Amino acid sequence: MKKEYDIIFDYKDNKHFNQDLNGLIRKSNNENFEKWIFKNKNLNNFLPVTIINEKNEIIAALGITKFEIFIGDEKCTAIQLGNLFLKEAHKHENLEVELINAAIDKYSNVVDIIISFSNDIDEHIYEQTKFKKTKEYLYFLNWKHNEDTVRNKIKKLDLDLLQDFEIMTEKIKHSTKQSSHLDSKFDSSIKTFNILKYFSNDTYHIPSLDVVVCYKYNKDVFDLISIFAHDKVDIEYLLKIIVPKHIKRVDFGFIPDLKEGLHIANTDIFVRSSENKIKSTLWTKEITTNISDSKIIFPILSRQK
């Protein structure tokens, strides 16, 4: 990195840098998490790292979110590296690697694990920074309709309505762990963004259980993406309420707590919305954890990109 550049962290109270970062993020082409949180002024747990030039202008930035991961009964601190933003004139200076290495240097002594996600285009960046490409697995259940289906009121949420939006966000923010294997907390902004971007038409409220569920189905495959509730939800009972008669298989966007019938398959993990599939490869740098040796799926809605 050029000697006239500096790396800076933690400047939430600096109006100049915040405006500069917001301007850089707004110029990005896609609708990303970082652009959304600035627009909605939802910057809790958001800790970007940036590179500035000799004019105190931000020329490159990396979005970082601090949160918690629960691995079994163990609570772990974590950061997730999000999107990279570069000014056009600096796109060939390898600043992406500088930003990621700076984040590693700052946080590797204070968190248990650092994670990120990639598509095929940016995999080389994580290889250069010595992240481990971590295999994920699909958890699914062969489904056969039976007569003990439970009839219950299911309300589809209209997230353009404030009341429905607040039902969803309240449940996300205050939800208890719904997986005893691998779950996350204090990343409600990421989960909210992903629902709005990918699953805005696939989110439901079941008043009798006081649970918000994100699910969809295509032909005979049902995707149970996530569950949010103040109390632990009985998944078997929930499935009897929400799964249509014609379904033959239930795929999970997390590791469900099911005692029987659960299958695990090799897969390239995709975020499957109603419109498309988006590849999402998990990369990890583990300090005290060991999840890469287990058959995991990182919760679909907890992926910053």
Residue 105 covered by a domain: yes
Find, among 46, 24, 49, the residue nearest to 100 by Cα: 49
Query: Residue 172 and residue 186: Cα distance in Å, rounded?
Result: 10
Are 120 and 236 part of one and the same domain? no
Residue 252 covered by a domain: yes
State the residue range of the domain holding 120: 6-135
Tell me the backbone φ, ψ of residue 108, rounded to 5 degrees: -65, -20
Four-CA torsion 270, 262, 183, 200, nearest 10 degrees: 50
Average pLDDT value for residue range 10-36:
83
Residue 296 covered by a domain: no
DSSP 293: G
pLDDT digits (tens, 9 = 90+) for 154-198: 999 999 999 999 999 999 999 999 999 999 999 999 999 999 999
Residue 305 has pLDDT above 70, yes or no: yes
Residue 91 covered by a domain: yes
Are 85 and 44 part of one and the same domain? yes
Are 120 and 192 part of one and the same domain? no
Residue 149 has pLDDT above 70, yes or no: no
pLDDT digits (tens, 9 = 90+) for 51-103: 999 999 999 999 999 999 999 999 999 999 998 999 999 988 999 999 999 99
- For the entire predicted model, the pTM comes to 0.91
Are 165 and 272 part of one and the same domain? yes
Average pLDDT value for residue range 200-209:
95
Share of the chain above pLDDT 90, in %: 68
Whether the CB-CB separation of 238 and 216 falls below 8 Å is answered with: no
CATH, residue 228: 3.40.630
Query: Residue 20 and residue 70: Cα distance in Å, rounded?
Result: 35
Are 118 and 182 part of one and the same domain? no
Are 161 and 104 part of one and the same domain? no
For 190, the token pair is 């990421």
Residue 62 covered by a domain: yes
Residue 45 has pLDDT above 90, yes or no: no
Query: Residue 61 and residue 100: Cα distance in Å, rounded?
Result: 10
Are 143 and 52 part of one and the same domain? no
Q: How far is CA 52 from CA 38, 128, 290, in A?
A: 19, 22, 35
Whether the CB-CB separation of 216 and 271 falls below 8 Å is answered with: no
CATH, residue 18: 3.40.630.30
> Where a domain ends, among 135, 165, 191?
135
Find, among 45, 33, 49, 34, the residue nearest to 103 by Cα: 49
Which amino acid does the sequence have at 205?
H
Query: Residue 27 and residue 191: Cα distance in Å, rounded?
Result: 23
Residue 255 covered by a domain: yes
Residue 13 has pLDDT above 90, yes or no: no
* 14-28, 88-102, 243-257: segment of lowest average pLDDT: 14-28
Residue 131 has pLDDT above 90, yes or no: yes
Residue 100 covered by a domain: yes
Whether the CB-CB separation of 83 and 63 falls below 8 Å is answered with: yes
Are 231 and 130 part of one and the same domain? no
Residue 272 has pLDDT above 70, yes or no: no
Confidence at residue 39, expressed as pLDDT on a 0 to 100 scale: 78
Are 156 and 128 part of one and the same domain? no
Which residues lie below 8 Å from residue 93, measured CB to CB, with a gap of 6+?
1, 2
For 142, the token pair is 């062969």
Are 110 and 155 part of one and the same domain? no
Residue 92 covered by a domain: yes
Find, among 147, 167, 190, the residue nearest to 40 by Cα: 190
Q: How far is CA 14 from CA 17, 38, 49, 125, in A?
A: 6, 15, 14, 29
Are 89 and 152 part of one and the same domain? no
Number of structural domains found in the chain: 2
Are 149 and 274 part of one and the same domain? yes
Whether the CB-CB separation of 102 and 61 falls below 8 Å is answered with: no
